[in-house]
Amino acid sequence: MEEKKNKYKIETRNISVYYDHKKVLTNVSIQIEPNSVTAFIGPSGCGKSTFLRLFNRMNDYIEGFRKEGDVFIDNKNIYNKRTNVEELRKAVGMVFQKPNPFPKSIYENVAYGLRIQGINKKNTLDEVVEKSLKKAVLWDEVKDDLKNPALALSGGQQQRLCIARALAVEPSVILMDEPASALDPISTSKIEDLIHELKKKYTILIVTHNMHQAGRVSENTGFFYLGELVEFGNTKQIFTNPANEKTENYITGRFG
């Protein structure tokens, strides 16, 4: 496949996804600029999470997964045979709905990614752990308890720890699947502030059921419905004057 250079960090061209014979995404083409936050909204089962999981090839694990079309990150076709999926997942970090720290210490959770790469030098690890926890705005809360078990942290702290763990391997893209839906309002607001901060260095894609969160954190929003990208555009535009009636009905709660 020809790989044309352009300024976009991420691009999909006519991507369709099937699970066995069921088509779950239809012909989605999207272009995402670097250092931006893009939110994907839509009712359950609309394909937004499947879409998100295309970018770190998480769908590969799902039986019957098949896709048509292409996905590019940094102008590279990530479904190319030459793609090293492990390298891809280092570059494209992911944060899930429920915080999923390993049953290890706070320190080891963050250092994990480096250790499996064979990096065990204490100075390097110390440095990366501190830097990552600082970026995830968790350092001040845990710096004296790095040896404590990660599972003893609060839900909001665990989620920021998972973000720190993703940041430790220096990704350039972060995928977030409902990163705050299991958190209380204060933790949610911390995660949202963090997203604003992380945007300076990373390109962030976030799937959320909370439309107001999409409005608060993102520059661009895509609305999925029945596997189609119905509307994609500037978040302010989508939430004040969407072009498509389906989008309007969904965001104003008149759907169905």
Partner 1 sequence: MTHLEIELEQLKKAIIEMMDIVKNQLEKSRTALLSMDTDIAQEIIHNEIRINALELSIDRDCENIFALFNPVAIDLRFILSILKINSDLERIGDLAEGIAKFALELESSPPKNLLTEIRFNEMFELTINMLDNVIEGFIHEDTKIARQVFKKDKILNQINKDSPGTISDFVEKDPEIIKPSLYLFSVIRKLERIGDLTKNIAEDIIFHIEAKVLKHKNAVKKIK
Residues that bind partner 1 (CB under 8 A): 211-212, 215, 239-242, 248, 251-254
**Cβ-based nearer residue to partner 1, 11 or 192:** 192
- Strands 37-41 and 220-225, by their bridges, are parallel
In sequence order, the 6+-apart residues with CB closer than 8 A to the CB of 201 are 35
Q: How far apart are CA 202 and CA 200, in angstroms?
A: 6
Q: How far is the CB of 41 from partner 1 (least distance, A)?
A: 11
Q: How far is the CB of 153 from partner 1 (least distance, A)?
A: 30
Q: How far apart are CA 132 and CA 179, in angstroms?
A: 18
Q: How far apart are CA 205 and CA 220, in angstroms?
A: 10
**Cβ-based nearer residue to partner 1, 228 or 248:** 248
Other residues' Cβ atoms within 10 Å of the Cβ of residue 57: 18
Q: How far apart are CA 84 and CA 41, in angstroms?
A: 30
Q: How far is the CB of 181 from partner 1 (least distance, A)?
A: 17
Q: How far is the CB of 135 from partner 1 (least distance, A)?
A: 30
Other residues' Cβ atoms within 10 Å of the Cβ of residue 255: 13
Q: How far is the CB of 252 from partner 1 (least distance, A)?
A: 5
CA nearest to 71, candidates 87, 53, 45, 86: 53
CA nearest to 109, candidates 135, 132, 86, 89: 132
Q: How far is the CB of 219 from partner 1 (least distance, A)?
A: 17
Alpha-carbon distances of 116 from 63, 68, 106, 159, rounded to whole Å: 27, 33, 16, 21
Q: How far is the CB of 82 from partner 1 (least distance, A)?
A: 44
**Cβ-based nearer residue to partner 1, 66 or 212:** 212
**Cβ-based nearer residue to partner 1, 115 or 212:** 212
**Cβ-based nearer residue to partner 1, 42 or 93:** 42
**Cβ-based nearer residue to partner 1, 185 or 253:** 253
Query: What DSSP element (H or E) covers 219?
Result: none
Provide the Cα torsion 108, 111, 113, 117; round to 10°: -110
**Cβ-based nearer residue to partner 1, 56 or 220:** 220
